[in-house]
Structure 1
């Protein structure tokens, strides 16, 4: 999945995405509250493939202090997050990615889920996705 754009609800913020390396589902309390849903779908973008082309997003530290969340100053849509555990990537809310086919592409299928211990019992795990009960754990070298 390459050469995509991501925009907020009002269109004030516009991001060019040269590459999406993977997607994931997050079931943490913060993502639930920010999305108003049972989980957030997040696309991992290498920092060099992320280009803010328009807008001046505001930001705030995450509740745990492990990262920064960026959102549109006008419509307040959460756009992306940055985390200390992976400074080489931006984590874009997948719903911000433009195009009706965005979720139909093979690369859009989540490869892992985090905070699965908080996943609702009625929601099934994504087939083939790595399951992490807590937050993201870097692969062991």
Structure 2
């Protein structure tokens, strides 16, 4: 998957909410935290950090769900699919659940977080692993390395 086949489209399970991605991800991730485990009913959540200007809801009105805290988790109001997250104070990106894309076959997590809470058998092909979140100062280097690995031109 590369910039030449943008835009990407996707939606919730029932099709009531549709989204469009017109910018490549900054980073791809798997989160092993117990919150993500419970919200996905799985071992981890998969997400792609999309620049905010490259993300739009094209159909429907997602609603806030989850814990209703600083990280705003958006769901389809009908099928309740967890679609994306907008972390408070980090308005430059949207954390899209990668499996909401119509074609997520390209997706592979580059970073995995909260491995301190992961289920013992859960593994990913992530290049970088963190017991919690990466230190804030690591993100610039991670994004640059991800762009090179993904074949995107330098930002």
Specify the TM-score bucket, using the shorter chain as the normaliser. 0.7 to 0.9
CA contact (8 A) 1:5 1:98 kept: yes
Q: Distance in 2 between matches of 1:61 and 1:91?
A: 14
Higher helix share: 2
Q: Report the alpha carbon displacement of residue 125 of structure 1 after superposing the two structures with TM.
A: 4.6
* Deviations 1:72-108, CA, capped at 9 Å, x for gaps: 0111101100113532000111111102xx22x3xx2
Q: 2:101 aligns with which of 71, 91, 97?
A: 97
TM-score (norm 2): 0.78
C-alpha distance in structure 2 between counterparts of 1:110 and 1:89, whole Å: 17
**1:135 pairs with 114, 133, 136, which one?**
133
1:124 matched to 2:128 = no
Matched-pair contact (CA < 8 Å) for 1:20–1:43 = no
Tell whether the 8 Å contact from 2:109 to 2:124 is kept in structure 1 after alignment: no
What does residue 86 of structure 1 align with? 90
Q: Identify, as 1 or 2, the structure richer in strand.
A: 1
Match of 1:27 among 24, 32, 39: 32
CA shift in 2, pair 1:61/1:88, >3 Å: farther
**Aligned match of 1:8:** 12
Mapped partners of 2:44, 2:77: distance in 1: 23
CA distance in 2, matches of 1:39, 1:53: 27
| CA 1:110–1:30: 2 relative to 1, 3 Å | same
Aligned partner of 1:46 in structure 2 is 51
Partner Cα distance (1:112, 1:86) in 2: 18
Aligned residue in 2 for 1:72:
76
* TM-score, length basis structure 1: 0.85
